[in-house]
Amino acid sequence: MREHLDQQLTRLNHDLIKMGAMVEAIIDKAVTSLKNQDLELAKSIYTDDDAIDEMELKIEKDCLNLIALQQPMAKDLRRIASALKIITDLERIGDHAVNIAKITLDIGNEPLMKPLIDIPKMAEIAQNMIKLSLDAFVNQDIELAKKAAEMDEQVDDLYDTVINEVFNYIQKDSKFLNQGIKLLFVGRYLERVADHTTNICERIVYMVTGERVEIN
Amino acid sequence: MEPILSIRNLNFYYGEHKALKDVNMDIYKNNVTAFIGPSGCGKSTFLRTLNRMNDFIENVKVEGNIIYEGKDIYSKEMEPVELRRRIGMVFQKPNPFPKTIYENIVYGLRKNGVNKKEVLDEVVEKTLKAVALYDEVKDKIHKSALELSGGQQQRLCIARAIAMQPDVVLMDEPTSALDPISTMKIEELVLELKKDYTIIIVTHSMQQAARISDYTAFFLNGEVVEYDETSKIFSNPRDKRTEDYITGRFG
């Protein structure tokens, strides 16, 4: 029974995974282009973000249609409501990638004050969080969602390290001030990416159990 | 919250067949309580036990207690006719008497010896207004009720039920014979009426239960599987059987 609804829910799953993969990739691209000072790659992020925005609108429209036409109840309703919230967080992550790209373009070919290590690490963990959270969404796996959310702490710790390191550079020589502030922003954006992913994980717990939780 | 009806360990039998199994429930005052469940689950049978409408069926047996105002409604002190005045009923198909609109509404009052014209006039106007029918029929209240549309007839039947100033109004699928607009009017009416009455409604439409009720009970094979706040039942039911039923994955 309700095969039609089930098919549409499966399609919603696929679209969310697709959007998640796009978001995971855009973060990777943003940090890679910064690290390698690849300005062409940074520019392409704008187009990728447009595609993410379009995907958000598509999923939102599909969710509203499902609610209007199928009158979903209980777990079906929670799944659709969660999807609506999750896409907002994913879309915001896309925006943060654009913010990072802006900084990359701003720094341009000016040499980096040091090779970037912790910022790419933050990005890597955040990407992994996104990936795990979407796996958790698809498999309705609350343990995996919690595990992904707990990784937020690692990102926060790295962010603290980045702040300290940049401060040290600036204290040593004020010529690092301009670029240092920009890199601090990059750290801040990545920290926000991890926070949005934590929101997604909390949504997944709600979707599966009907209970609202705050992880971290 | 104050329960107006407390049902304890209720069993009901049609001959050998046990149609209700150990039902326990508190019905809260000035709330709308909906009973949902598949055909034959016992929801209408249960509704009819609440004002002893099952007394008219032969070879039935009731066990357990239904406490209303501190008394068991199946006890000897309870007079069934008086009980049904206090706990009125509206049926699936509108069933106005083949009389005028006016006489339909005052029927019960006349039966109880109220004949004073001013009193009856006032009740007719008040109840027709309460069921949002007054403007539509005010010029023809002395014409036959059978001239009204189905939706109007059903609102008239609700007016007839509340003219007796009951505490509780039982509604057995009151909109299943009506078109969507008439259904919406009845639903709006139910939401208005709960300010003054306690409403218990059996419905086949889960969306209707979701739209108008405060509490919902899900019945299956004569048992109450789950009884809770409507928002809880429709967003996060506890029992998998409820989940399967309301998400349409039953069976």
Question: Cβ neighbours of residue B19 under 8 Å, at least 6 residues apart?
Answer: B12, B13, B42, B45, B222
How do residues A117-167 score in pLDDT, each as one tens digit?
999 999 999 999 999 999 999 899 999 999 999 999 999 999 999 999 999
Minimal Cα distance from B243: which residue of A? A74
What is residue B251's predicted lDDT score, i.e. its pLDDT?
58
CATH architecture, domain A3-209? Up-down Bundle (1.20)
Strand partners, B17: B14
Q: What chain A residue is nearest to B246 in terms of C-alpha separation?
A: A73
Q: Kindly determine whether residue B235 and residue A76, on different chains, have CB atoms separated by under 8 Å.
A: no
Nearest to A2 among B210, B235, B248 (CB): B248
ipTM over the 0.90 cut-off: no
Delimit the domains of chain B by residue range.
3-95+170-246
Taking an 8 Å cut-off on Cβ atoms, the answer to whether A73 and B246 are in contact is yes
Tokens of A194: 């991890």
CATH architecture of B3-95+170-246: 3-Layer(aba) Sandwich (3.40)
Compute CA B52 distance to the chain's CA centroid, rounded to the nearest angstrom.
13
For chain A, the domains span 3-209
Strands B3-14 and B215-220: what pairing? unpaired
- B236 and A74 within 8 Å at the Cβ level: the answer is yes
Q: What is the pLDDT of residues A10-36, one digit of tens each?
A: 999 999 999 999 999 999 999 999 999
The confidence score (pLDDT) of residue A89 equals: 98
Q: What is the pLDDT of residues A112-123, one digit of tens each?
A: 999 999 999 999
Contact A193, A20 (CB under 8 A): no
